[in-house]
Amino acid sequence: MGYKITYDYIRKGNARPGDALRGPLFAVAHDTGNPGSTARENRTYFDTQQPSASAHVFIDDKEILVIIPLNEKAWHVQYDKPKDNQLFGDDANDAAIGVELCWGGAINFREAYKRYVWFFAWLCKKYKWDPLKKIVSHKTLDPERRSDPDNALSQYGKTFAQLLNDVKKEMEAADVPKEKPQVISPFAQDAHKWVTENGISDGSRPQDAVTRQEAWYMLQKVHEHTIREVQKLLDAAKEENT
């Protein structure tokens, strides 16, 4: 299951300085801390108010909205915090993508969470990251001041560790080939030869399900084939009698 990513960037200003991001080297998981505010509402706020704080992506139950290009800086973790440097060798603001979960109010958490997980899986694939190593919570980087996104997740019985596992699962699920191997089973090999030789089916995709219209088509072709066979017998009989 995939989702659409909408790129709708805010104007340059305090919230979007336009400086190049290093890497990116990792991603920081946030929640807005503002229950009920949607991705769109956040975009409008950052575009018009231009606070000296921002994030790249806002995700609610309807949209995955990228408001700052993923190769530009956004201000989503305080510079003087040491943890990002310890873990990743750089400041989050200079080298990380900030992803905000919108929640609460009229926002359907299940739908927003699915998009949040999917987007992190998409990011990890794009940058070839192990989600368990490259996604960090804001809380981990700034534990004295912040509790996101653990706080939002806990309102719905989820933990940050579960989030990372769900991202990993999402990545693995997307890697599983959806196509069944198209091999004809031994019991059906004669029948396959017969339907293709007699124009009843093209013989392709032996493991796929039949639609109603394909059934109609094949019934008609069997009927026409039978009439041709009967006609042949009648012609032969006629010839014998003359």
Taking CB under 5 A as the criterion, which residues in 199-238 touch Zn ion?
none
For Zn ion, give the closer residue by CB, 68 or 195.
68
In angstroms, what is the minimal distance from the CB of 148 to Zn ion? 4
In angstroms, what is the minimal distance from the CB of 181 to Zn ion? 46
For Zn ion, give the closer residue by CB, 75 or 129.
75
For Zn ion, give the closer residue by CB, 39 or 195.
39
DSSP per-residue codes, 61-86:
SS-EEE-S-TTB----S-TT-SHHHH
For Zn ion, give the closer residue by CB, 60 or 148.
148
Cα separation, 96 vs 22, whole angstroms: 8
In angstroms, what is the minimal distance from the CB of 183 to Zn ion? 51
> Cα separations (Å) of 109 from 6, 60, 61, 191?
19, 8, 7, 51
CB 37 within 8 A of CB 96: no
Segment lying near Zn ion (by CB under 5 A), choices 13-21, 29-37, 60-68, 206-214: 29-37
In angstroms, what is the minimal distance from the CB of 27 to Zn ion? 12
Residues that bind Zn ion (rule: CB under 5 A) add up to a total of 3
For Zn ion, give the closer residue by CB, 115 or 138.
138
Q: Which of 15, 52, 17, 55 is nearest to 39 (CA)?
A: 55
Tokens 């993923």 locate to: 70
Taking CB under 5 A as the criterion, which residues in 81-140 touch Zn ion?
138
Residue 41, SS3? helix
Taking CB under 5 A as the criterion, which residues in 53-72 touch Zn ion?
none
For Zn ion, give the closer residue by CB, 115 or 139.
139
> Cα separations (Å) of 82 from 112, 133, 199, 209?
31, 17, 72, 57
Taking CB under 5 A as the criterion, which residues in 133-172 touch Zn ion?
138, 148
Cα separation, 198 vs 194, whole angstroms: 6
Residue 30 binds Zn ion, judged by CB under 5 A = yes
CB 19 within 8 A of CB 69: no
Cα separation, 194 vs 189, whole angstroms: 9
In angstroms, what is the minimal distance from the CB of 173 to Zn ion? 28
In angstroms, what is the minimal distance from the CB of 151 to Zn ion? 10
* Binding-site ranges for Zn ion (CB under 5 A): 30, 138, 148
